[in-house]
Chain A
Amino acid sequence: MVFSEPVFMFMFLPVTLLVYYAVPFRLKNAVLFLSGLLFYSWGEPVYVLIMILSTLIDYLAGRIMDKFEANKKIRKAALIVSVVMNLSLLGLFKYSGFFIDSLNSAFGISLYNPNLPLPIGISFFTFQSMSYTIDLYRKNITVQKSFVKFAAFVTMFPQIVAGPIVLYNDISKELEERKIDFNALSDGISTFICGLCKKVLIANSVGELWTTVKETDYSTLPAATAWLGIIAFTLQIYFDFSGYSDMAIGLGKMLGFKFPENFDYPYNSKSVSEFWRRWHMTLGGWFKSYVYFPLGGSKNGKGKTIRNLLIVWFLTGMWHGASWNFIIWGIYYGIILILEKFVFASVIKKLPSAVTRIYTLFAVIIGWVIFEITSPASELGYIRAMFGFSGAFSDTFTINILHNYSIILIIAAITATGLPLKLWKKITSGKKLDGICIAGEAAGMAACIAYLVDATYNPFLYFNF
């Protein structure tokens, strides 16, 4: 199930929330666990068993580590079982097909590819549960003795499908005790509706533009169209992903949890390093504490730092998908970050912020070309088109998409800077204008429902002519 689906918003959510609020506190975690299972199995009626199994193993690993507190070997063994199990699940379901295909084409052999479908959210929930066993091994946290509470942490429906990656440490206190009041509920609703609008009204709209451009032939694609297309994708992925994170954070608040923020207006960044501190922050944080720092981080000299950065960015790229373009995309960022750290650090500091912002956006946009277009040959074709190597600057199709999408693109671009919200807060500071907010949210929600309902409207499917 996804949040922007009528069955979620108008069946799962009201029923789950009403039951959740009605039951006494000691049962709330059980409601979370069971509703999470229902939510997950709605999309993965079979793979839900894998998730239950992995939850059980991580829970037992935790209990064993706790029981044999003095025995380092057993503790280590339990950790290794948990990490290997999580990584094998990822390896088997996410990467096996890719590796087999790569081997087959590299050596001209024909190994059997089982083509396993990818279980939804597997990259998120395996990373979340690993955070528990690793932190427990490091003694940063204490053990969770209740299976229901641990399972509620792993399967909680707000973040299970697309993050943010919530560490056990982030919500361990709230699992034991949390307060749900009108303030939290009201904030949660605002955040949820805000995320819904980002996803349904902005991301889906600009996404349509990108879809039409992506389908064209890049060898004759006019430069203006190529830029409009990739800018649309740049906005789409931000609003889609951050919208989904907002919805998750909002739902978390409604349930009494405080999830970490995941995006901080990343397109305002003045360097690529800053961009990655503000984009998908929970993933960056995860790699930092569970890969980069254990490897030694930047403490062991230039050579090892470069090695560590490349490892982290290779893995970050791979985490995004089992395909070469994601690996290239990760390494592309690894190289830029190394250059920023060791070569251009002083230059970037001196340049005016307009220049560094443009440089950052440019690097990020080229990154999205690599990210979104799967074949390296087409990526080059697209980049060539952006720089005018495919002929004309614009054509009648460019005019058409400008007419249809300018307004939404401008709204999206301005919203992505965060300025409207800042301005709004400035105007309303000290004043009571919450009524206007409610009216705006109600209108936004109504518009979202209209768009969601329309997505299912198929006039005259078969007697069209």
Chain B
Amino acid sequence: MKQVTFIAAFLIVAARMSAGIDEAPKKFHEWSGSRTIPVHRIALSDENGENIVPQYKLSMPYSSRKTCGACHDYNKISRGWHFNYAEKDALKGRPGQPWIWYDEITGMQLPIAGRGWKNTWKPEELGLTPWNFVKTFGRNLPGGGLGDVEDGPDDPTARWNLSGKLEIDCLTCHSASPSQNHSEWVKQVARENFRWAATAAAGLGEVGGMASRMPSSWAVIQGPNLDDTQYAIAPFVTYDTRLFDRKKRTLIDIASKPQDRHCLFCHSVAADGKQRKDLDVDVHTRSGINCADCHRNGVDHMVNRGYEVEAVHRGDLSVASSSCRGCHLGVKGAKGVMAIGGRLGAPAPEHKGLPPVHFDKLACTTCHSGPWPSDKLVRVRTARANRLGITGVANWVTDLPYIVEPVFIKGEDGKIAPHRMTWPSFWGKIEGDKVKPLPPQEIALAGTNIFDAPRVVADILNAMNIGDPTNGKPALVSGKKVFYSNVDNGLSLDNSKTSAEQTGIVIVKDGALVPLVPAFNPAAEQMDPNIQVRITDLLKALNACNGKPDGVPVMTVGDKLYQLDETASMKTGNLKDEVDLATVKSDFIKLPSKSVAWGWLKDKKFSPLAPDFVLRSVVATVGTSFTFTEEQVEMVLKALASGDKSGKMKFAYICSGKMFTLDQAGKLKVSDNAAAEPAAWPLAHEVRSAKQALGAKKCTDCHSVKAPFFFGKVKARGPMKTASVQVKQMFELQGQDASFHRLFGLSFLVRSMFKAVIFGAACLIAAILALYALLALNRVTKFLGSRENK
């Protein structure tokens, strides 16, 4: 019995001790106080904690969790601002730029933020799983967050076992090496090579293969795909062995304070149409201050965002000293040097002549940041929304989403501040007074043959580009515009305009328009053999055209119709015999036609090469930033409604601050809806100098009857070309009284006179007071003098 008790006690103690060993807190490197940056000549570890042998051909990519995490608290870092967006208890903070889920084909641009900012959607509300989120936005994620979750929701589309986790890429911010390449990161994320992305971006080796092309049964442990060496090549890394020493260590060039270029990869903003030479950098940058000087953080990686009430949100007064006010004026309620301001040599603003009420109502950025307010808002492109800064063969930059600045509206602290603004565009189903977005795949399916108008025309033009004696290129002429197919199999607008009123396909040569088929007399008994060959070739080409509708290609002129017979030779027939003319319904083709007309024939029914709506869409949208027309939206809404088996569901398209639905007659109806309201986030840079501050020269910069600050128009815009857009003036968005600000603005017309009059009055009062004061003094002196005489 004693033995059993002893053994049991021993086992319990042993178990506790072993548990104690496992649970012993890991000791991480802490800052010793030295201001030097330790040389990071270190061995790399893979995700299994194994040391990497760079010469080994089947080496795994390095893992930051295992390599950097050996000395730095990875788990603590992973709760920092850049990574904790998906956590339930994550700090909400002041709204920042949301992610914008953009789909060009379906005209979707949805602002997404895991922190639940106003007028944004949370990923889970849209059915965006961690996998989809990382696939969509991983290009600008620094890793971690949803890319590094332990247990995500069930997602049949996820391929984590192939891609690996997208761990925090410490070097994306902390590398001081010129070979740190963000574009490489983007490329690897696009290829689903998540676990390889950091290694490739750091330039430690060359990463090849694509996890996205591997069968889902593949796992990294299997190594190369021996069955396919051409297409489905398994991801691999070939380390640059020159970078490693005999102990398999490599020098990681570290910057403890991230360099600006790394921040700017994701946080660049540029006005549309501006050249690089036109940009003035922020005054802080000019004076040698880096992003991380103000936007600093500790080991917890909670980066100071720099807004005024951040200290309240985070419950940490020291954060306030990184705000504009904290740095330049000192922190209210703080003690010592923090209360004084002037941090990093920040000059104390004088604000001479500026009534203090402005400090209660405006943020510092209102006068000092962003573009100067004008009648027209500035359209900007941002790195995260418009995919700026990704270099390579492919063009990543997108025209949409449409973002404007500066919109002067009240922030959450009640102060007016300049904001960037974008309007959501999405297809959704109406549930009560809410609109729930539908996934773009569903919309693309419903909009098959509706959305891709430019491609339909491009396919026809490409098919008709058979080479001919004129050596020109087929182009579409419509609405006095000329369109030609481009290398991306899309359509481009030719800059040269034409006076031609007709719509049709012509040959463009050196800017001159030549008929596709030379003019001929259809009534003539014999046709020119060259023309006959030309027509035959074109009909054959059309017959092989991509996306050819059900029917045969035909050409008609006058009362004749030309088509191919069974032997692929041209046969001529009478138009009236071959076509039921009553069924021809087109705004662009009238049969019988005086000039050559092309189309498709099926069961005596003639239809033009491209439907009318396609031509209208091409004319309206190609060469603009619009994607489709109201007519197409109406068609898609009808398609969605017809696809609803219950017949009870209502669908809408949200765009340009409005909601578009179908009315009883099946026509497009416009209304307002909360789902169409814009997402806005404050801007802080570029900061202008004090001399260029709003109101620095005159109060009428804002206080006049037409000042854009109060009366500028904020016009919504989206992918659809429509006149029904939300237009609001700044005072409406600010919740201000327009008539008061007009009257107040008018008062500045007479302000100089006002000052002169009351100055005169004050002088008069002062003179009288002085006079009587002197008289009083006179009496006093007389009194005192008379007393002496007595």
Partners in one complex: no
